[in-house]
Structures are given as C-alpha cells and as structure tokens.
Structure 1
Amino acid sequence: MAYVNTIGCGAGQSSSRPPLFDHTNFATWKTRFRIYARSQGVRVWMAIEDGVIIPTKTVDDIIIEKKVGEYNTIEEERINIDAKAEMVITSALDEKEYERVNNYKSAQEMWD
C-alpha cells in the first residue's frame, strides 16, 4: 500500500515537496527529482549536479572551515544554496537511503 498523508496526497505527489524515492523505477524518480530541484531554483540544481565551492581559509597549509561572521555575502549565499540543495535531496529519500548519504558534506556528494 502506498503512503498517503493526512490530506490524502500520495508521497511525492505534491508541488511543495520532492518525489519520494521508494527503491523502484529509479530512472523516473531521477527525472522527477531533477525537475523538482530545478523548480527550487537553478542554483539549487547546479549545487546538486556540479557542487558549490564551500569557502575555507588556509592557515599554514591547513584548510579550516571559517566561523560564522568570517564569510562574505557571496560565500554565505553559496553555503545557503548548498544547504537548500541538501534539504531537497534528503527530503526525497526514505530512511534507508537517508542513512546512506547523511554523512556527506555537500549536496553534490549526496547526489553522486
């Protein structure tokens, strides 16, 4: 039996949430997911497909993540886009698939 939420809408059949991957018909899900992700903004899809450059700083050849307040506006926007892309991906996965990708550090890593 397919999942149906309290308002009678089957999983993944809403324009406000991504299609749910249920381990069947991956090719169709991937196409529907790409369409959904692009509808969230072309930059979100680009972050998923190509990745974004997450800003870091270098101290004596050691790469360290910057702290809040050390980012400029463009860097913050890149981080926010990647975070939105990660949310789009994880919202489309069931618990089993989520467990496979939840330790990745970017949307592109999750997608790959």
Structure 2
Amino acid sequence: MTQSTDKPPFFDGTNYAYWKTRMMFFVKCKNYKLWDIIEDDPFVPQRSKAEWSADENMELNCKAFHFIFCALSLNIYEKMSSCESVKEV
C-alpha cells in the first residue's frame, strides 16, 4: 500500500520516530512555516480576534492542528484532544 501525498501519514501509537519524520516532511511540503509553528508554538496575539491580521499565523496554527489530528488514530486523538497548542500535541 502506498501513502497518499494528500493525506498526512497515519499514527497509531507505534513507530513514533518513523511517523514523526514522515509527518515533518509532509507538513513542510504543504507549507514550510507550519513546521515552525509545530516546533516553536504559534505567535498568539494579545488583541481581540477581530483585530488579528492575516500575518499573525493563526490560520497556519489551525492548519497545523488539522494535519496532526487527521493523522492520529482515535485512541491517540482522545489523549491529545485537550492540548492547547500544536507543539503540546
């Protein structure tokens, strides 16, 4: 079976190092800045959401969460769903 280039590599709780490497390249290929957010945590503006500008990375943070959560099995997702930052996941 081959891995789709459109779907993140699936993580079922085994072979984390292998999955992490594959996930890193998957995310970097989609948007290199996403991996920076995953590694470093996003910039969180101190203003109201209405005042956020497009360059403050909140959209990228949401995309990073989406990629990672789509890659997790239900069992792993349930353990991570309460995390508040993508780096914490």
- The TM-score, its normalising length taken from structure 2, stands at 0.88
> What SS is found at the alignment partner of 2:44?
coil
Larger radius of gyration: 1
Matches within 5 A, 1:1-112: 13-57=3-47, 66-67=48-49, 69-75=50-56, 78-110=57-89
Unaligned runs of 5+ in 1: 1-8, 58-65
How many residue pairs are counted as aligned between the two chains? Answer: 89
Instruction: Give the distance between the partners of 2:46 and 2:14, measured in 1 at CA.
Output: 39
- The TM-score, its normalising length taken from structure 1, stands at 0.72
Higher fraction of strand: 1
Query: Which 4+ stretches in 1 moved above 3 angstroms?
Result: none
Instruction: Give the distance between the partners of 1:74 and 1:32, measured in 2 at CA.
Output: 27
Report 1 or 2 for greater relative contact order, CA contacts < 8 Å, sequence distance ≥ 6.
2
1:1-33 Cα offsets, whole Å, 9 max, x none, are: xxxxxxxx66xx110011101222221111111
RMSD: 1.5
Distance 1:33 1:73, change over 3 A: closer
1:84-106 Cα offsets, whole Å, 9 max, x none, are: 00001101100111111111222
Higher fraction of helix: 2
